Chain A
């Protein structure tokens, strides 16, 4: 095909050879889905290979997925309330993204490492993190909040978008260098799962992470939660093509999944992590989902998106559809009642403990800024102590 149409003599400015015929610019990727929005297990063609992974799951695991999602949603309400009541500086909601988060987190093994962004509260809980630590961070009592080594290898939240993608890749390089990949031992072969958002895919770090991961063939899965928005900016501003296609551009498989389908989120992540642990290299998942709530409690989404859009996604709710499917398989009303009660208890307990969190003392400003003694830390703490003690016991 010629790229140029012949032009009629004298109709184009000199130098132009004709009218340009633009090449195709529509890029698409199929969305892999096991469970449709109506709650019917009807795999799309691309989902067929993943079906056995789900069929192998015992009922207890399938029920656990539901429990996790229900707890996540209840905690979301508790967190937002705490913020409104002045107990938190900020709450970061995950309403709508429960399936993407629960399915992927449940696909990881104990020895895997998880590098979250800042919205993956339920992922942390699945790894054993007490969510009160997250509240401590959002309350302004700590800059971190937990030790990953003691909390299921769930690393700290990262507020500088996409920075964690590189830490994850470096960590995965280390696993690779240590030979903890591809030995065939399912207890020791390890992989890294890193979460980031659609907006974060535009950061240089996110792209450099893909370069390094591909170059070193790291045991790693990049999990993009495309919740359609980066605060007020739609995903179309970040990318004109499905984000899953970012994988092949960097030399790794990329899959677009229905992020509101907990089964496909589990199955595709499971497959990807297993490939990674086996030494097959990194891969990328784009989970198409929706942030039903505000970006954070500081945001007003009515300024940039329509009610119709929110209603469209409400119809695709991840929990409702999964409940329908479980019910169809014979889950009893008693099970759902019990889970609802448990979720309410977890949220109430979290709230109670959040209210009794104590403020840190001033040594914390200086403690651990360095691993080794540093003269300024010692001098400045001593000065602050002396300064503060000048007020203590004075005229009150």
Chain B
């Protein structure tokens, strides 16, 4: 896996959490970073450098310790710690009643999680790989997503489904998929995706605290690069999007692993004298359009990047909505950079398939050409 280079780690570290200033006022909690020293004296935990896998692990541990109704369910998540080791050590610490190695059946996992939620539990499911969520698709879309409305709000469905997703890891078929759109398309579900260890640490805890079902898409190519995690302050709420790099010429937006691609594109663009503003979506359902529309109103140009197929995708939805709401600000049509509308190819071809910084810049050039 030579892909996980120092360069990538450096990129991860540029995803600073310190830029709370760029957060849209409509959704953000006030930043209180100046109080950090005080908190440290009061036994707060401060900033640690963690990989995303370790950050999620730490977030899960917090949630498990804080509420005994939180339980983890999945395949190989117990003594093994999951195939990506995200749950490493949790069953040893909390016991096999809190970290369930379930039978090998995704519909069974989701369906029984629903029953457990009816009983007052807060199950957190790990789907082993993106491509294997589909046996559970029926229970997620026809049951989990609808049981609250079918009960007229008398019950909630606080179930989190963690999905390691996306390419860049050179793996075999069904191990590099980006199925977010299926779930974002389904009323009753919430869909989020962190791009940094810091966000992952906080967002997993916020997802667990949510009383609605949350699909939590973890960009598995970002599991290993390390970054700062401020364990005292979350920054922005679960469903907030935010500007993570300011710029003036073109806005580029994405989520998950695409963020590192967009930041690399922004660096290259800067060398060429172009200024890109990078927006991290963070939440795919609902979408927090505030920061994005603000940005587009300033730049007049938008490129949406995603690993998923472009046809009928989250990127398509963003393009349509921005066209509706920022029509008079746009200097160019909203352009999409996506995976192609084919099955994810054999890994030998993935670098051609996945949006790269160069493909993003090609779209940026086209946007500037109008």
Contact = CB atoms under 8 A, between A and B. Distances in A.
Interface string B274-313: 0000000000001000000000000000000000000000
Contact of A174 (B105, B116, B142, B146): B116
Contact of B149 (A143, A155, A211): A143
Contact of B112 (A142, A160, A170, A374): A170
B108 A212 contact: yes
Given A160-B138, A370-B148, A370-B212, A209 B119 contact: no
6 contacts: A148-B155, A167-B112, A169-B111, A170-B115, A171-B115, A371-B157
Given A167-B111, A167-B115, A368-B149, A208 B138 contact: no
B149 A205 contact: no
Interface string A152-182: 0001101010010111111111110110000
Contacts of B187: 369
A369 B118 contact: no
A376 interface: yes
Interface in A219-276: none
Nearest to B157: A371
A147 to B, nearest CB: 4
B246 interface: no
Interface in A363-382: 367-372, 374-376
A372 B210 contact: yes
A301 interface: no
Interface of B: 71, 97, 102-103, 105, 107-108, 110-121, 135, 138-139, 142-143, 146-157, 187-188, 190, 210-212, 286
B115 A172 contact: yes
Nearest 10 A/B pairs, CB to CB: A170-B115, A166-B111, A174-B119, A170-B112, A368-B153, A208-B108, A144-B150, A171-B115, A371-B211, A147-B154
Contact of A205 (B111, B120, B155): B111
Nearest to A208: B108
Given A160-B142, A166-B139, A170-B113, A143 B150 contact: yes
B80 to A, nearest CB: 18
A375 B239 CA distance: 10
Contacts of B107: 166, 204-205, 208
A330 B292 CA distance: 80
B212 A166 contact: no
Given A144-B151, A367-B153, A372-B211, A171 B103 contact: no
Interface string A272-294: 00000000000000000000000
A83 to B, nearest CB: 22
Nearest to B152: A368
A83 B326 CA distance: 50
B114 A177 contact: no
Given A156-B150, A163-B138, A371-B211, A174 B111 contact: no
B151 A156 contact: yes
Contacts of A208: 103, 105, 107-108, 111
A215 B109 CA distance: 12
A370 B102 contact: no
Contacts of A374: 286
Q: Give the interface SS of chain A, mostly helix, strand, loop or mixed.
A: helix
Contact of B148 (A168, A170, A371): A371
Contacts of B139: 163, 166, 205
A21 interface: no
A160 B146 CA distance: 12
Interface in A342-368: 367-368
Nearest to B156: A371
A149 interface: yes
Contact of A143 (B97, B110, B120, B146): B146
A376 B286 contact: yes
A371 B149 CA distance: 9
Nearest to A374: B286
B154 A173 contact: no
A56 to B, nearest CB: 32
Contacts of A205: 107-108, 111, 138-139
B114 A167 contact: yes
A160 B140 CA distance: 12
A204 to B, nearest CB: 6
Contact of A170 (B118, B150, B153): B118
A166 B125 CA distance: 15
B321 to A, nearest CB: 11
B111 A370 contact: no
A368 B212 CA distance: 10
Given A147-B154, A178-B119, A371-B156, 12 more contacts: A143-B150, A144-B149, A147-B155, A149-B155, A166-B107, A169-B111, A170-B119, A173-B115, A204-B107, A208-B107, A209-B108, A209-B112
B327 to A, nearest CB: 18
A163 B143 contact: yes
B145 to A, nearest CB: 9
Contact of A368 (B116, B119, B142, B148): B148
A368 B151 contact: yes
Contacts of B105: 204, 208, 211-212
Nearest to A165: B111
Given A147-B154, A170-B116, A174-B119, A375 B286 contact: yes
A375 B187 CA distance: 12
> Most chain-A Cβ atoms within 10 A of its Cβ — which of B102, B111, B151, B155?
B111
B212 A174 contact: no
